[in-house]
Amino acid sequence: MIPLNWYLLVSAALFALGLFGVLSRKNAVAILMGVELMLNAVNINLLAFWRYRAPTESTGLAFAVIVFAVAAAEVAVGLALFIAVYRRFKSVAADEINLLKW
């Protein structure tokens, strides 16, 4: 069998890559993709613990399903924001949108 540790390592690596994407990318949509990677890492973690600790209860599954809903809501509003920003600035590069920057 696969040890639980392996899942945790993969999800930690995925989370770190997502974090790197969020911090380093210019394009706002790419930043959102980094966030998606992080949410997926979290979901792998949740389900791995569900499988190894409490597979007979549905708590882990319910948690993961609700993470789906949150991710979808976040993407919907985030992308709508980018469209609104693009209309105003003709760009979605995060470093060019600096009206509030001092």
Partner 1 sequence: MNAWIYIAIFIFLSLFFPALLAVAGWFLGPRRPNPIKEDTYECGLETVGETWVQFKIQYYLFALVFLVFDVELVFLYPWAVAYHKLPLYAVGEGVLFIALLAAALIYAWRKGALEWS
Partner 2 sequence: MTVMQIVFLITAVVTLFAAFRVVTTPNMVHAALWLIVTLFGAAVFYALLQANFLAVAQVVVYIGAIAILMMFVIMLTRREMRDRGPQTGKQWPWAAVIAAAFFGGLVWLSQQAALPAAPQADVPKDSIAQLGQALVSPNGFVIPFEVASVLLLAALIGAVYLAWTRHQS
CB of 33 to partner 2, least distance (A): 5
Residues engaged in binding partner 1 (CB under 8 A) = 65, 68-69, 72, 75-76, 79-80, 83
Binding of partner 2 at residue 96 (CB under 8 A)?
no
Partner interacting with residue 95 (select from partner 1, partner 2, none; CB below 5-8 Å by kind): partner 2
87/75 Cα distance (integer angstroms): 18
The burial class, CB within 10 Å (0-12 / 13-18 / 19+), for 85 is: middle
CB of 20 to partner 1, least distance (A): 26
How far from each other are the two terminal CA atoms of the chain, in whole angstroms?
A: 55
